[in-house]
Amino acid sequence: MKKFFALGWMLVAALALTNCSKEETVAPTLEQDFVVYANLDATRTVADGYSTSWADGDNLNIFHAVAGEETATYVSDGEFTLKDVAAGTFTGTVTGVEDGTSYDWFAIYPYSAYNTTPAKAGYMTIAALTQAQAGNDNTTHTSGAPLYGVVKGGSSVAPEFSMKHLSSMIKVNVTNTLDEAISIKSILVETAGTKISGTYYVDITGDAPAYASSGDNYTYSNVSLEVSGEEAINPETSAAFYLTVCPFEVKEGATETITVTVTDNSDEVSVREYTIPAGKGFAPGKVTTLNFDFAADGDIEWTTIAEIHAASAEGTYNIKNVTVVAKGYYNLLLKDATGYLFSYQALDAEVGDIINITNALTSTYGERQIKSGAVVEKIGETEVTHPEATLLVNGAEFDAKSDNLTVGEYIQFEASSLTVSGNYTNLYVYGATRIGSAIRPATAFTSSTTPVLVTGYACYTYGQYLNIFVTEVVPVENYLYPASGNASIDADGTAKTIAVTTDNVNWTVEDDAEWLDAQNVNGVLTLTASQNTATEAREAKVVLTHATADITRIVVISQSGAPATGAIYYQKVTSTPSDWSGTYLIVNEDESFVFDGSLSKLDASNNFKEVTIADSAIEATEEINGYAFTISAGNDGYTIKSASGYYIGQTSDANGLKSSTTTSYSNTLTLNADGSVHIVSGNAYLRFNTTEGQDRFRYYKSSTFSNQKAITLYKLSE
């Protein structure tokens, strides 16, 4: 769509729909003209006169529902594409529309496959975090803003939409109050906390659009505009600059502060604040003008990196004479005389560049970092020399460093393996609960199943990951790594094996318990325990020693106690059975939560129950039996059925959980070295989500998300 708005930034559209006769079996289609025209309001002024037109490639989502139903069933009619630019004609197909029936119609521009219902469309970008305008007074960059249209109680033919904007617009009208011409380089608009940019889910079925954030990491309380062309604004003249924002209204009894920072091409900065009172705000489809008198604010106030880390609040800072010491695909690590600072924003600089940074907006994501808005001026170059690295000798030291990190610490550690998956490079450290993550490198690493020595700058910890600018990866000679530092054996003494990665298979093994026999069998640690007849669990240590190098590793072995006489228990699965069939509890051991199989709605928040786990067992009571699931062998895997009679599974590599009393979904089960179980259906993994407000057992696309925790299985003893 070109030159996108008229007065009030509103569009009107007409849609004609033709049904097939009832004798035809093909679906009815939308084939009449779909005309979009500007609403030329009588109060329009010359300053607000913008033309509107559709353009090649424009397309829409269309939805409908039978009007008047207490609970609407929305039908997605899919994509409608522009057929004739001049006429504004769109064509597509609708299903299930009958003559004489009244319908509610919904339209969304631009089309997206993610728009499956008008009750929660998206997610869609309502306003981009960073926007760009070509020269003064130009509005072309606003052409991608989303639109919607609603017709309630329309007929089955020719509903007419009034297409409206889902975004709001801020017009910053800059007047040059200096004695010489200026040209504007960037404009930053920030609120005191209200989110005004990013991606949202939108409900257009009510009286007004309702916006729901797609996640705290995807919506922002600021928006920036980069201006190209260096067009002059002469003294005492003005130019307009346009930023789209997500609509909002200030709540009763509150106010909101809007801070506007304008930077010209000489890097002079001018700042103004505007107060938005209660009941006011930025409405969808409306242009709000902020008049701005540009005057140089004097010398720039410079801040050191240490002062940024010590500041009590996030903010916008100017940093002088910093050196780029490391660079990833789009991230940088910056250094001045006081410390290091991570930049999430892609800055135009290379390793060794000495730069000044103005207008840098910070955020806290594990550690303080530059998020957006930064303007870079290169002032010199230098050769970067890395400091002496601190060696982390084991997993405990790696975890300790992750928990007590100073940004920019130069560290070195041994990773037992390196795994590259898409944009992510994970570094697994023996004996550590944390995982190293190489900040997306400019040049990808190669996966390694053998140990490597990693050196780099530790930048921040987020979830279970320590994020590192890796500067060097070299192979390790003489290594010995069991796949796990611990193992559990059931009370019956079922044998257990643990893979060992080493450059010399002739390693030796010793154990310190009479009830345990540990051996090196063809390079695999093989554990055999006698039956534990006591109700108390017991523990032993196994020591592995490298054949030629001074390397030892300890594996802790625990064995469950026997169930108390007369009681029935669900016992933790610690070895792979020949047949997984049986009655189980699906458990998240971190929280002692079990998947509640008594429910009829299984994919819902808080679908868990807390239980007591003692000696790797859960006592079977009538209440707890109601939470169980039955696993049965099928032709191409296993079915999993809840106590309430619902089969669970997934049909694609997607987040979610499907349940049915008639359809049995195929699952595969794999016991991992750490005792967790991968239950995979449709290439998605059954896990427990610990995200606040979303606690649930469901299937997820990845097996390694930081908030989606592994599960274990507890089988009902016979």
What is the residue-wise DSSP string for 112-134? -TT---TTSEEEEEEE-SEEEEE
Structure tokens at 429: 């450290």
3-state secondary structure of 255: coil
Using an 8 Å Cβ cutoff, are 647 and 664 in contact?
Answer: yes
Give how far the C-alpha of residue 188 lies from the chain's centroid of Cα atoms, to the nearest Å: 25
Q: Where are the beta strands (DSSP E) in 309-372?
A: 316-327, 332-336, 339-343, 353-365, 367-372
Supply 405's token pair: 């990190």
Token reading at 71 = 């609970």
| Predicted local confidence at residue 537, as pLDDT | 87
Of 481, 452, 489, residue with least CA distance to 544: 481
CA distance linking residue 236 with residue 295, whole number of Å? 11
Closest listed residue to residue 358, CA positions, set 387, 329, 320, 385: 320
How deeply is 692 buried, as exposed, middle or buried, from its count of CB atoms within 10 A (0-12, 13-18, 19+)? exposed
588 SS3 class: strand
- Mean pLDDT, 10 residues at a time, over the chain (718 residues)? 35 32 32 31 30 72 89 90 70 80 89 92 90 92 84 74 86 88 94 92 93 90 94 93 92 85 90 79 86 69 91 87 91 94 91 87 86 83 90 91 92 92 87 89 83 94 89 92 85 90 93 94 95 89 94 90 81 91 95 92 89 91 92 90 92 89 91 91 92 87 78 90
Residues 6+ apart with CB under 8 A from 423: 329, 440
E strands, 382-451, in order? 390-392, 409-415, 417-421, 424-428, 435-438
Residue 394 to residue 485: CA distance in whole angstroms? 12
Helix, strand, coil abundance in the chain, percent, nearest 5? 5, 50, 45
Q: Provide the pLDDT for residue 510.
A: 95
Q: Kindly tell me the burial class for residue 503, based on how many C-beta atoms sit within 10 Å of its own C-beta (0-12, 13-18, 19 or more).
A: middle
The two structure tokens encoding residue 392: 């982390």
Taken in order 353, 190, 295, 187, the sign of the CA dihedral is positive
Determine the pLDDT at residue 704.
65
All structural domains of the chain, each given as residue ranges with its CATH number in brackets, are 7-294 (2.60.40.2630), 305-381 (2.40.50.140), 390-475 (2.40.50.140), 480-559 (2.60.40.10), 569-716 (2.80.10.50)
Amino acid letter at 407? Answer: V
600-617 burial, b if ≥16 CB within 10 A, otherwise e?
eebbeeebbbebebebbb
Q: What are phi and psi of 309, to 5 degrees?
A: -65, -30
DSSP string, 612-641: --BTTEEE--HHHHTT-EEEEE-SSSEEEE
What is the distance between the alpha carbons of residues 232 and 234, in angstroms, rounded to a whole number? 6
The half-sphere exposure of 222 on its side-chain side, counting CA atoms within 13 A, is 23
Q: Is 135 helix (H, G, I), strand (E, B) or coil?
A: coil
| pLDDT value of residue 299 | 55
Residues 89 and 112: their CA atoms lie apart, in Å, by 19
In angstroms, the CA 161 to CA 102 distance is 15
